[in-house]
Structure 1
């Protein structure tokens, strides 16, 4: 079949900064399209993969991102002689990273990775790596995106991605399931994940008998130490001589799948879970707020492609936003709250709301090589509508962030939205019981500028205020602002 030609004239494409680690593959962005350049060897692997039965079935089921070859003659990818074949991938609505996922999200991503690997092994293929970054999300459904990771399986060789899988998926799950610690800071601090030696120290003593610890932590670390001076080729030859086979690899994958399913974490009771009941909203306040937000979401000239719900809590306003937008990012700082929201969205089969764990006062920075291999949240999160409901007082009073910086930060998410961008923001007055509770824990007079008139002045300096409503309680005001210029 002749690959379809792209409709665009020859145009230089932008290289994805995080796609350099596999020399045979490179991701490019061109006019909203996601393209993958393959060198000659990777192109041969693709041809074998495209002729298989297992990949089309996984793509049809939505477990692997949609992929098709395109005619490269209309493209300028740089190093043109290097890229023998070009693929076009389905565009994922929003790129997120494993340290922004809840426990259940990471576990479901790991299970999908293993399911795909098992299907590949049965069809005579394997994957070069096992990174959590090979997966993304369509709402509450994980999807495998690294087509370039597939290669024909070689008899007698282990799964090349085992170590990466342990470091970026299995070990973080173990940290939360066995130790009760949030895994997100561990993954955020190191792009390659948790090292076996580090994990071995965490699961020492009687904890070495925790599910999976002896085999995948202690034995893994011991084997790694034993073969530290040996070449990869020598280790593979030793395994082949010992009768290692693809059937053993598949059995290991099946065993890993059982282990991952056993790993469990039940979210503890959280203050934020009951926040809606304890945040002093009367019934009339709640109804008025919902009406105001719904009108703001419906008030644009076109349907928003992306809505950010910052401080999403239980996701009620994210669900409201999903009625009016193509996609919603529900950001909440408490992993327990996000986990429960994810499980509800998963049961509902929701594909338009992506829940993320993130401290808004410390959002995901750039990471990896030169700080750009993983893009900062602010770079990824350009939206047409931003919901900042019951957030400003937590940042301003709870975290000492100046009001002016909060307004600038919120408006910054709308930089590419044009005149249809909308900020829907709630200001909690100093006399509101929730604000008073926060202020009671601070030295008197620390926040003289935390006033409604000052907030409104700052907002009007960055936005045209197109709607304003004080809730019946008289201690909270809602605004819709459209960025100026």
Structure 2
């Protein structure tokens, strides 16, 4: 089923459940429900537990609307729009853990009320700032007694296994999840957790036993497996006990602290207090000039100093930082503050998240999601140009592409004689970057934007620019 050509577009990542599909109509998010999905919704919408989850903000706001909005569907729901869609491989350890715990809480409450969730994917969750929210309302279904949780494998592969990798082995999970949209397979985990590692918390049951059971039942149909479980006495109480056990396991897991140079960057960088004060004033004025921006991108956010300044005036700030340890520290601080306007994400700006999944569009690339009113590129240009050899023109093309037409770009140019630039150049051949000059940066910026103002910081080796994209 598909909506007619009325300006409504289908969400590419919502095709996996035939019972429902998500569409976008302007700023509205609609979900079409087929006959089965509509029956499940009627039962769900009348349940007390679902009303409580909505009231607590743990499930995205949802209401039923006129089915004529999506011809061909039995029922239509309208959901709140999440400020910025992110992917699990862009989250830090604590973010993934909190998302997993919310998923388990929702499943536990659903089971207690006679419902279940049909899948257990990390992609069922998004963020309002530093607070996770469950978005896959179409995943709820009435529970059949003796039926196992259909989402267990997905939960392991996209949530539990990445957490085990980071907690037990100190491996950043983000590259593993980015490489496979369906998560980490049990066979891969079994190879990593051999010998004494087999006995680490959660590994015997959820890696080795899970993998063995999966292999043993590889040729059995879903109906046969369910019949076997019912015959063995599998019940809702046992399912609840399993969920509580996974919850306890995940709460005990934490990120192994391997140390990071960037965690201490604000203390060890070359800014003087006066430089920092002038820079903060410049950034705040630039964001305030944009009115009330719907979205600000802070690229190279580090500890979130400038993201917090932007959040005073913006509806949503996405704070991007390459180092997972730095993002984890920022997220934990924002969570403690109850911050709902700043979303921290893990991303290498020289290798931003590409499109992934089916046809490369099931999970949208970062560049497609980022259409900001204000882009902050502070203390990041020199890292990309000198540290990663990105030509200045190409770099500015990408920064400009992250902004909507008429949006603002706030960029900091670190002069070649700055201590940080000299440090980046120390291991580079002499003369490798002849075009890395302030006048050339300004010329390239003016060719792409209208420069509104610029300011040299008191140190004399850094210049800030505020420019209108497409101006």
| Both structures adopt the same fold (TM-score exceeding 0.5) | yes
Q: Which runs of 4+ in 1 moved over 6 A?
A: none
Q: 1:112 aligns with which of 87, 96, 102?
A: 102
- The offset of 1:213, in angstroms, is 0.4
Alpha carbons 2:170, 2:258 under 8 Å: kept: no
For residue 83 of structure 2, what is the aligned residue in structure 1?
A: 93
- Name the structure 2 match of 1:388: 377
Q: Tell me the CA shift for residue 10 of structure 1.
A: 9.3
CA RMSD of aligned residues (A): 1.1
2:378 and 2:320 map into 1 onto residues whose CA distance is 12
> 2-side partners of 1:191 and 1:484: how far apart?
35
Quote how far apart the aligned CAs of 1:287 are. 1.0
Structure 1 match to 2:461 = 475
Residues 308-387 of structure 1: pairs in structure 2 closer than 5 A: 308-387=297-376
CA deviations over 1:432-485 (Å, ceiling 9, x no partner): 010011011111111011000100000000011101000111100000010125
Q: Superposition pairs for residues 457-468 of structure 1, below 5 Å? A: 457-468=443-454
**Cα distance in 2 between the residues matched to 1:155 and 1:343:** 39
Equivalent position of 1:430 in the other structure = 416
Aligned 8 A contact 1:267 1:340 in 2: no
After TM superposition, list the pairs within 5 Å mapping 1:396-435 onto structure 2: 396-414=385-403, 416=404, 418-419=405-406, 421-435=407-421
CA contact (8 A) 1:267 1:339 kept: no
2:47 pairs with 1:52: yes
The answer to whether residue 100 in structure 2 is matched with residue 102 in structure 1 is: no
Structure 1 residue 266: deviation in Å? 4.0
Shift, 1:297, TM fit: 1.0
Structure 1 window deviating more from structure 2 (263-272 vs 457-466): it is 263-272
Following the alignment from structure 2 to structure 1, what is the Cα–Cα distance between the partners of residues 383 and 221? 53
Between 370-379 and 239-248, the greater mean CA deviation after superposition: 239-248
- C-alpha distance in structure 1 between counterparts of 2:242 and 2:15, whole Å: 29
Other-structure match for 1:4: none
Q: Distance in 2 between matches of 1:216 and 1:38?
A: 33
Q: Distance in 2 between matches of 1:404 and 1:452?
A: 13
Name the structure 1 match of 2:167.
177
2:231 is aligned with 1:241: yes
Offset from partner CA, 1:162-182 (integer Å, 9 cap, x none) = 000000000000000010000
Preserved contact between residue 449 and residue 468 of structure 2 (Cα < 8 Å): yes
Asked whether 1:442 is paired with 2:423, we answer no
State which of 15, 25, 28 in structure 1 corresponds to 2:10.
15
Cα contact 1:98–1:187 (8 A) shared by 2:
yes
- Identify unmatched segments of 5+ residues in structure 1: 1-8
Distance in 1 (alpha carbons) for counterparts of 2:101 and 2:265: 32
Matched position secondary structure for 1:384: strand
The answer to whether structure 1 residue 124 and structure 2 residue 114 are counterparts is yes
* Inter-partner Cα distance in structure 1 for 2:5 and 2:221: 44
Choose the corresponding residue for 1:290, options 280, 288, 293: 280
Q: 1:179 to 1:449 in 2, by over 3 A?
A: same
8 Å CA contact 1:378–1:413 kept in 2: the answer is yes
Is 1:453–2:439 an aligned residue pair? Answer: yes
* Residue from 184, 189, 208 that aligns with 1:218: 208
Distance 1:28 1:10 in 2: 12
**1:263 CA drift (Å):** 1.0
**How far apart are the structure 2 equivalents of 1:287 and 1:234?**
67
CA distance, structure 1, for counterparts of residue 67 and residue 465 of structure 2: 48
Number of corresponding residues: 468
